[in-house]
Structures are given as structure tokens and as C-alpha cells.
């Protein structure tokens, strides 16, 4: 998506340690008008799929997922990072490793909101190692629901996650695929 690549080049900031900050429009401040363009693009890409639910993960996926969901006319479900072991009610759980925060945490969704027969589109802001995406896929499979695919805003294509998930047979559509980036500000995208 050219518009997104231009926006990342213009407003993204690259820092040492493989960090791309897009917090002016994606994951701290959210450019809601721009997110509507993202929503239209995901709708175009997945328009032949029947989608009954959009699944994302807190926190930065939620805003994007809600805007995208308007184009599919379905509810959003966001996986929560479990804060306590004592969760009321029945939940599906999986483990996600955060490389940014260097820890493993449990994510949960209530069984009440994910059912066999659901056709689930996953939406998230970033795909790098793929840990969050694999965790979300596991939740969907545990519910005997169907993974329609994953719509990712920015994929770090030089990391392992994209191949890992596509090799599982899951359709992954990333609107911007970064081939390389460096702290001097150079960002190269996959053609």
C-alpha cells in the first residue's frame, strides 16, 4: 500500500535495536482518518472471504481493528493480557512472547465470544517474530473456529514471523513489508 509506505517514510522513526516507531499515527496517537484507508484496503483484500469476527490483541491492535471492522460489519474481539491467574469464567488461553518487553505473558479470550463456525480475520499493527499472531491463531483453533487470514499493518519482512505463519497455511496480508531499515532513517520496502 503506497500511501502507507509514504506515511512510514515521512512519520516513522528508526532507532537502534531494530525499533520502528510509528506512534504518531499507529500505536500511541492514532490517525483515525488514515486508519479508514487501511480498513478499506483490508476490505478489498479480503472481500471474497466471509468474516464473522475480527480478533486482535490489546492494546495497540484495538483501535485499528475497530476501524477495520466497520468495513466488514462484524464485532471486534480483543485478546487480553492476563493480569491474574484467577479469571472468572471459561477462557481460551495461549502464551505470547514480547521481544520488546522481554517477557512471556498469557493472553485470553472468553469462550463466550469465540465459537466453532466463526470465521475470524486477525488484525494487528505489527508482525515481526510472529509470537502474538501464533498466539491468536491458537485461540481460534482451540475454539474450532476458522482463521480466514491475518491483516497486518506493518510486517518486518526480514524477521521470521511472516514465513512461520504463512508456512502454517494462514493467509497473511501485510500492507507495508519492510525489507530493511537503519537508524540513519533509511527504510526499504519489499517490492
Stretch 118-177 residues interacting with its own copies (CB under 8 A): none
Buried b / exposed e over 51-72, threshold 16 CB at 10 Å, is bbbbbbbeebbbbbbbbbbebb
Shortest CB 36 distance to its own copies, Å: 8
Per CB under 8 A, does 109 bind its own copies?
yes
Distances (CA, A) of 14 to 92, 177, 183: 36, 15, 5
Looking at residues 88 to 107 of the shown chain, list those that interact with its own copies (rule: CB under 8 A).
88, 101
Nine cell digits for residue 72: 466488514
Q: How far is CA 146 from CA 53, 104, 116, 170, in A?
A: 10, 26, 8, 10
Query: Which of residues 4, 8, 35, 172 is near its own copies by CB under 8 A?
Result: 35
Tell which one of 18, 52, 70, 93 touches its own copies (CB under 8 A).
Answer: 70
Does residue 87 bind its own copies (CB under 8 A)? no
Residues in 49-68 that interact with its own copies by CB under 8 A: 58-59, 62-63, 65-67
Which residues are 127's β-sheet partners?
Answer: 155
Options 4, 22, 26, 74; binder of its own copies; rule CB under 8 A? 74
Half-sphere exposure of 53 (CA within 13 A, CB side): 20
State the Cα–Cα distance between residues 69 and 42, nearest whole angstrom. 10
For residue 113 the three cell numbers come to 465470544
Question: Is-contact 64 38, C-beta < 8 A?
Answer: yes
Q: Tell the smallest beta-carbon distance from residue 142 to its own copies (Å).
A: 17
Of 156, 152, 162, 160, nearest to 181 by C-alpha is 156
> Residue 62 or 164: which CB sits closer to its own copies?
62
Among 113, 141, 142, 146, binds its own copies (CB under 8 A): 113
Task: Identify the residue among 3, 6, 15, 180 touching its own copies (CB under 8 A).
Answer: 15
Number of residues that bind its own copies (CB under 8 A): 36
Q: Which residues make up the interface to its own copies (CB under 8 A)? A: 15, 23-25, 28-33, 35-36, 58-59, 62-63, 65-67, 69-70, 73-78, 80, 83-84, 88, 101, 109-110, 112-113
Amino acid at each position: 500500500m503506497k500511501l502507507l509506505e509514504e506515511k512510514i517514510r515521512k512519520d516513522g522513526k528508526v532507532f537502534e535495536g531494530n525499533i520502528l516507531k510509528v506512534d504518531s499515527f499507529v500505536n500511541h496517537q492514532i490517525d483515525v482518518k488514515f486508519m479508514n484507508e487501511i480498513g478499506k484496503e483490508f476490505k478489498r483484500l479480503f472481500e471474497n472471504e466471509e468474516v464473522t469476527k475480527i480478533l486482535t490483541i490489546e492494546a495497540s491492535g484495538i483501535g485499528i481493528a475497530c476501524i477495520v471492522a466497520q468495513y466488514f460489519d462484524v464485532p471486534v474481539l480483543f485478546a487480553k493480557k492476563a493480569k491474574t491467574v484467577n479469571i472468572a469464567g471459561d477462557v481460551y488461553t495461549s502464551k505470547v512472547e514480547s521481544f520488546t518487553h522481554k517477557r512471556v505473558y498469557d493472553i485470553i479470550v472468553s469462550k463466550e465470544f469465540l465459537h466453532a463456525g466463526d470465521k475470524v480475520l486477525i488484525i494487528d499493527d505489527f508482525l515481526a517474530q510472529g509470537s502474538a499472531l501464533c498466539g491468536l491463531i491458537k485461540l481460534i483453533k482451540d475454539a474450532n473456529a476458522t482463521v480466514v487470514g491475518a491483516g497486518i499493518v506493518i510486517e518486518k519482512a526480514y524477521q521470521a514471523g511472516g514465513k512461520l505463519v504463512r508456512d502454517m497455511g494462514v493467509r497473511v496480508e501485510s500492507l507495508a513489508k519492510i525489507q530493511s531499515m537503519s537508524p540513519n532513517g533509511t527504510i526499504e520496502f519489499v517490492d
